């Protein structure tokens, strides 16, 4: 949501910002993946992720209230290690790659639901064309400098919540408890693995930290906004997962995992309900692509202006649009959605944002004398995130070693490029 900087934000606006960021496309993308990995226990996977997100949120809250002029996660690491700016540089490059991953995830999901609405469910060619088309469309929208009004974005957020809430309420009446048995049909390992892979569904609450300076009462409302938005999102995810598992067979959901929510809606609300959920998915992912491309390209440009990335990324047109950053992010997201499967994109995005949150956690622990963080609470949150990253890595090592090699290779390239660029071209942080 892009608001006038003179307008002070209250708790309602902060919660809308956080919920809107998290439900931007997450549940539409990962419900089928959660069921395929966790089975009948998929609803519990979303609860576990909610607890991990709350633990991560604690670190963001403490840092945001201490350093109110900084909103980007990489600036927190610069506060923690001012003499080693390359550490913040690696964090910043990793954040950008995470945003590229989520852009690809949203575009993939847009294409999958769009293909289903067109009667071409499972047709990869149609899915690819739709995914690339929506990325190109919003690239040109951003290049033209078109900014969505805050009121419009609020309307989209509340419309999504209303549709999903109505669907959950109707679906709960049709849930068959027997469908949840045996609860751990994929084992307890499947429960935690599902939670690890779908963590990207909670990415977005960090947006609230960018609005600290514009918040009327940040000491009161920023913690409530972050924790409240995570709890509300977690409740919505839980209800939708309960409806999915409680009304359909696992095979049906997994078979349609790329557009699972629309498939769940079909027996509950008929074809009209399936179309409604499909349209909600298109609306949610479109909004998420637009806002992510807008914000991430400007973060990329800011890093360029500070010497943490090639300064060419800060090239702007007469309207102030960082056009090169917009184009580069779109192209990389397009390549990702073209070459990667939904599971690979979700795994990469989840792991990336967990690594970013781990970096933020380490900064908070190092600066706890200033942030007032409770050491044991901070360490617990850090341990949960580390365990989640290791769970994804262990799963990929056993089942998809090639994918793990590619993902780890990307991280090595990011780290080396960021460190080398900072060493050769970097200049003092300003």
Phi-psi region of 316 (alpha: psi -120 to 50; beta: other; left: phi over 0): beta
Q: Are 338 and 132 in contact (CB under 8 A)?
A: yes
Q: Are 320 and 145 in contact (CB under 8 A)?
A: yes
Give me the pLDDT at residue 315, please.
77
Q: Are 260 and 89 in contact (CB under 8 A)?
A: no
Q: How far apart are CA 233 and CA 230, in angstroms?
A: 5
pLDDT beneath 50, residues of the chain: 1-6, 148-150, 430
Q: Are 253 and 32 in contact (CB under 8 A)?
A: yes
Query: Both tokens of residue 360?
Result: 């933020």
Domains of the chain: 11-424 (1.20.1740.10)
Query: Both tokens of residue 332?
Result: 């990389």
Give me the pLDDT at residue 398, please.
86
**What b-and-e string marks burial along 224-245, b requiring 16 or more CB atoms within 10 Å of the CB?**
ebbbbbbebbbebbbbbbbbbb
Q: How far apart are CA 81 and CA 75, in angstroms?
A: 10
Q: Torsion over CA of 76, 80, 86 and 88, rounded to 10 degrees?
A: -10
For residue 179, give the DSSP letter. G
Give me the pLDDT at residue 293, please.
86
The secondary structure of 85-99 as a DSSP string is: HHHHHHHHHHHHHHH
For residue 212, give the DSSP letter. G
Other beta carbons less than 10 A from residue 399's beta carbon: 10
Phi-psi region of 204 (alpha: psi -120 to 50; beta: other; left: phi over 0): left
Give me the pLDDT at residue 415, please.
83
């Amino acid at each position: 949501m892009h608001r006038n900087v003179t307008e002070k934000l209250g708790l309602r606006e902060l919660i809308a910002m956080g919920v809107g960021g998290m439900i931007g496309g997450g549940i539409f993308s990962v419900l089928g993946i959660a069921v395929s990995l966790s089975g009948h226990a998929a609803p519990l996977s979303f609860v576990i992720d909610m607890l991990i997100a709350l633990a991560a949120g604690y670190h963001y809250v403490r840092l945001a209230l201490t350093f109110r002029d900084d909103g980007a996660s990489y600036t927190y690491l610069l506060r923690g290690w001012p003499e080693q700016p390359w550490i913040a540089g690696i964090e910043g490059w990793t954040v950008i790659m995470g945003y590229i991953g989520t852009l690809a995830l949203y575009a993939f999901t847009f294409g999958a639901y769009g293909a289903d609405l067109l009667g071409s469910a499972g047709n990869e060619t149609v899915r690819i064309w739709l995914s690339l088309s929506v990325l190109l469309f919003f690239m040109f929208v951003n290049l033209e400098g078109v900014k969505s009004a805050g009121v419009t974005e609020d309307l989209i957020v509340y419309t999504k919540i209303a549709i999903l809430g109505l669907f959950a309420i109707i679906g709960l009446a049709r849930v068959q408890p027997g469908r949840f048995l045996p609860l751990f049909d994929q084992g307890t390992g499947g429960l935690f693995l599902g939670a690890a892979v779908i963590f990207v569904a909670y990415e977005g609450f960090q947006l609230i930290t960018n609005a600290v300076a514009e918040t009327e009462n940040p000491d009161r409302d920023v913690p409530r906004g972050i924790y409240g938005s995570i709890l509300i999102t977690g409740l919505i995810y839980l209800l939708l997962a309960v409806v999915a598992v409680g009304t359909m067979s696992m095979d049906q959901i997994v078979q349609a995992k790329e557009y699972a929510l629309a498939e769940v809606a079909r027996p509950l609300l008929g074809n009209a309900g399936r179309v409604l959920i499909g349209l909600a998915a298109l609306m949610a992912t479109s909004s998420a692509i637009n806002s992510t491309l807008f914000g991430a390209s400007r973060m990329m440009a800011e890093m360029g202006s500070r010497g943490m990335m090639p300064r060419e990324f800060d090239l702007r047109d007469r309207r102030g649009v960082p056009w090169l950053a917009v184009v580069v992010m779109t192209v990389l997201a397009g390549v990702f959605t073209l070459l990667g499967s939904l599971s690979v994109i979700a795994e990469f995005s989840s792991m990336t944002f967990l690594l970013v949150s781990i970096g933020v956690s380490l900064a908070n622990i190092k600066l706890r004398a200033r942030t007032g963080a409770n050491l044991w609470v901070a360490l617990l949150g850090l341990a949960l995130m580390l365990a989640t990253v290791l769970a994804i890595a262990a799963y990929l090592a056993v089942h998809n070693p090639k994918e793990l090699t590619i993902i780890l290779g990307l991280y090595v390239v990011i780290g080396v490029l960021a460190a080398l660029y900072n060493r050769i071209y970097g200049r003092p942080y300003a």
